Each structure stands twice: as structure tokens, then as C-alpha cells.
Chain A
Amino acid sequence: MMLRSLRLLAFAALFLSPALQAAGPQRVVSLGGPITEIVYALGAGERLVGADASSVYPPATDKLPKVGYYRGFSVEGVIGLQPQLVLASDQSGPPTAMAQIQKLGVPVVLLPSDPSLEALEKRIEGVAAALGLAEAGKQQIARLRAEVAQLTRTPHPVRVLLLSAHSGKLQAAGAGSSPDALLRLVGAQNIFTGKGYKPLSAEAAAALQPDVIVTTTQSAAASGGAAGFLAQPGLAVTPAARNGRIVVMDDLLLLGFGPRLPEALRVLQDGLAPRR
């Protein structure tokens, strides 16, 4: 639903764009997937002349020239696109590259990257202000707040394990990671107590005895779908596998903490809701 409204918004922006042309920079490079998403959500997608490799949503980003991963982007790649503005995650780098871009006279706006509601609002506010769309930004934030508030926060007593499995090795997401923050927002309990993303052995996963396992589309696909994912050694003996309780979410939706936050919360909440 959120997706559709976003598309509508983007569509409307296409028609509104002559009006928007009046203010704000028209050639923008975005460094960071969630930031690119915000630019599109604000209806300013057509101003983007380039993005980093982590910008994979919405599908329109496919057509943008990619300047490398935002933590190691190429200065000349960005400069060559002749941007009037660079929107960058505060994790962008290397630092010398950021300094060089500023030295070349291109304004750089740094945006906070932590996975929290406050940081997301600051991100939207910052992007909107830099694009000269402060009003649209305010509306976006108000809508976001309303939608997040709507999502009930009745605590789920379920014990959740956040897992990814690229190249066959299990990784659990702990405190400070984006999926963990989502889990907190819907009031569920993350039973992995580590910090950030940590490798998890099959035995340790079995010992944690999760009721529900949350993973990403790519991880599930790597082991041949949700059923295959649950059949892995270690996971097969958990209550989650016995009851077939697994939530598979789109990678950027689970990891990105962008303007699609309400959608992410909704998917997560639906997946965690007790079965009748």
C-alpha cells in the first residue's frame, strides 16, 4: 500500500516538476541507499544524476550512473556528473574524497545514518531542506509519524532471532543494527544479545530456541526458499522451524531504515502476530 502511494507521489511529482524547477539544486548525487529513497519519496527523483551502488530502490535507480559504494566512492565519478549538490550519509568516505568534493566547490550535505526514528526524521528533513522542498519534507515526516503511531505497540511475547545467511554462514543481528531497531519499534524481543552483525554457529542458533526467525529475501533464496532456510542444521531443531514460523523481508526494507519504515513495521508485525 505504502509502495503504491509512493509511486503515486512520484507520478504526481513528474507533473509538478515544472513548478519545482523554480527552487533548489537540479543536479544531485546521492550517496547511500536510504537517502536515495528519500529523494524519490519527496518526488525529486528526476533531479538525481547519479547515486551510489547501495541505491537499489525504487527501480528507477537502475538507470542512474553508479559512482561506487558510498563508503569508497570515486571523487571524479561524482564530480564528472557535474552535481550542484551531493547528499551523503555521514558514513560516506573515504574522508579525503569528501574533502576534495567540497574543495571543488560542490556543496555536500551530510545526513545521519543511525537506525532510529529520530535519525530518519532528521534524514528526511535534511534532504528536503537541501532540495528546497522543506514543506514536502514536513508533510512526509508528519505522515511517517502518523503511520508509525498507528502501528500498535502491544508487546509481542515472541522470542525473535534476526538472521542472514550469505554464502552459507549464519549471521545474527544484535543491538545497534537496523533490524534490531525495527524489532524494538514493534515491541518484540531480540534473543541475540551481541552487538551489530555477528557470525552465529549452528549450535548457538539451536541453543537460542527462537519462536520466530526473521531473515532477508536474499538469504532465504540462498538456501532455496523459506523452507530450505529453516531446514539448515541448527535451525531445524528450533521451535521456529517446528512451527514453520519464518518472516522473509526484502533486504533494503529490513536493513535500510528509509522512508518505507511503516511498510517494514507492518510486514514485520504481520509476520510476528500470533497464529490462530
Chain B
Amino acid sequence: MNTLASRSAAPAPRRWRPAPLQIFIALCVLLVVLALCSAASGAVRIPLGHWLALWSAPADPQATFFRNVLLEVRLPRIVFAIVVGAGLAISGAAMQALFRNPLAEPGLIGVSLGGALGAVGAIVLGAHSLLVIAPAAFAGSLVATFAAYRLGSRQPGVANLLLAGVAINAICASVIGVFTYQATDVQLRNLTFWNMGSLAGASWPMLAWLAPWVLGLSALLIRDWRAMNALLLGEREAQHLGFALRRLRHRIVILAALIVGPLVAVAGTISFVGLVIPHLVRLPLGADHRWLLPNTLVAGALALTLADWVARLIVTPAELPIGIVTALVGGPFLLWMLTRRRA
């Protein structure tokens, strides 16, 4: 932490690092605090002090109104931000472990652009309802990932998977371009939703399946922490240590696609969280996936909750697209962390 002091001592003593569990607890506490702050602010002013009164006066029309705003608009949105952020971040961490490359992110295997392609295609071909568009996005995610995986795993090693992913992404992007060209003015406006991401679609019925789905699959990802740690040593080393790499790769790709696919389908493509959050967590914590994965999960939730809070507050009564905020806040923050570590 205080780098200057530790540098002056000649064989540098081990820098103090907070224990992983401490970080985890701190992140959780921070998440709860942030969620409360976010819930307490918005275009409708509901002072924290009135919160108890809201539930003690069930008949008062003002209290009913506040209660409805909280329960129907704000809370689902905050929970949505938590779920989406957690899912994106942990998939990013798993991808970085699989590819042994800090630049990996869930989008690398085609999940994001495949999903966007599904959604954009559905919109341009005439779908209006989310009931059609969301499944189309999910299907797009899975098909793109499946194609990248099948074509990329003909030869051993992840390099091929990586290249296949790049190619699939390029194809998806160009087909999106074709659809965008074909789109009417009206459709074009709707397309921006999928390109910049949005949390405006939050509702309890949707969260009722999305939250358990994402958290359950994330737990399955965390179960593989030993194999991911072994991968840090190298693919061959991991194999010699007795991990079935092919099956592991299979599992991670499928899990990441199953987590990120639905997220793209309901929230569009939100950039940056999957790429940067694992980094941020690795900086103080190191690369032990046993702790990296759960911490990334919470940190991702934290980051997107924060971004959503900013997005809702900064231009009230309007709001910014969430994808813009994540990149705008996350980019400089990462740069700052990186330069601080070097210094």
C-alpha cells in the first residue's frame, strides 16, 4: 500500500496484502451500502428517513406512490445491475483464465456480438416484442459460441479457439452492419439499445429466473478454480497435474455462453465490465482463482451498480446508456490503478 516506504528498504519486505476474505467481506459490505445509496436517490425524491414510514402508512397515497416507485422501478433495476455485473465479470475472469491472456473477455468467443446479431436481426426482420427479440439474442449467442468453439477446437491449444472467435466476431459485426443498413429509421433507434446496453428492462418476473440462473452457473464456474490455477502454469503443466483440459475448456466456454447469452438478450452489450473488473480484483488480490472468482463476482456487481447509479443521476431526469458509463468510469480508473502499481 504505502509504496514509498517499502521501496526504500533494500530487500523489499513483503508488501502488506489484505487477506482475500477481508477483501471479499469489504466488497460485500460496499455493495450493500452502494445498493442502498442507489435505492435512496433518483428522479423521485424519497428521503431515507421516510423509508420506515412508507410501510407503516399503507393507505396514504403519497406513501403508496413512493412504495411503488421503490418496489416496481428502482429495486428491480438495482438487482438487475447486480446480476448483470456479477455475471459479466465472472465470465470475464474465467475467459482470462482459459485463454491465459489478460485481454480475454466473454465477447471473445462470440457471445456478445452473436447475441447482438440475433437481436438486431429479429428487430430488422420485424419483431417488436422483447418476447421474440430476447430469445433470438440468446440463440444468436449460443450459435456464435458453438460455431467458434467447434471450428476452433479442431486442433489442440486455445490459439485456434481464439482465432475462430475473432473470425466469428468479424462475421457477426459485418452482418450486423448489413442489417443496420437495411433497417428503417425506427428500427435504427431500437438497435442502439443493443449496441450500448441498458438496464431499463428490469422487472421482477424476469429477475426471478435470471438471478438464480446467473448465480447458479457462476457457482459452477467457481468450482473449477483449481484447474484455472493450474492453467496459470501453462497448458502442458496443467495437463501434467492431471486436469482434463479439453473437458475444462468445454465446460468454461459453455458456462460463459450460458451466463452471458441471456444477459446480452435482456440488457444488450455492456462493454468493459468483463474485461476490466477481473483486472482490478487481481491487482490487490493476486491470481489465486479460489478467491479471484468470488471477489470478481461481487466486484462486478458493485461496478455495475455504481455505473447505473451514475447513469441515472448525472443527467436527471434523463439517463445515460449504461455502456457509456462503464467505459467512461472504468477506463480512467484502470489506467490509474496501472500507473499506481508501477510507481
Contact = CB atoms under 8 A, between A and B. Distances in A.
A217 interface: no
A77 B316 contact: yes
Contact of A76 (B65, B69, B193): B69
Interface in B245-297: none
Given A74-B200, A105-B68, A196-B184, A79 B73 contact: yes
Interface string A64-80: 01111101111111111
Interface residues of B, number: 32
A196 B318 contact: no
B185 A74 contact: no
Give the interface residue-count category, chain A.
35 or more
B318 A104 contact: no
Most chain A beta-carbon neighbours within 10 Å: one of B42, B44, B190: B44
Interface string A48-82: 00100100000000000111110111111111110
Interface string B54-65: 000000000001
Contacts of A91: 186, 189
A154 interface: no
B130 interface: yes
Interface in B302-323: 312, 315-319, 321
A197 B185 contact: yes
A-side binding surface: helix, strand, loop or mixed?
A: mixed
Interface string B28-49: 0000000000000011110000
A74 B318 contact: yes
Interface in A185-201: 195-199
Contacts of B315: 68
Interface of A: 50, 53, 65-69, 71-81, 91, 93-97, 99-100, 103-105, 176-177, 195-199
23 contacts: A50-B317, A66-B317, A68-B315, A71-B189, A71-B190, A72-B192, A72-B193, A76-B74, A77-B43, A77-B316, A77-B318, A78-B317, A80-B42, A80-B43, A80-B317, A95-B130, A99-B203, A100-B203, A104-B69, A104-B72, A176-B184, A177-B185, A196-B185
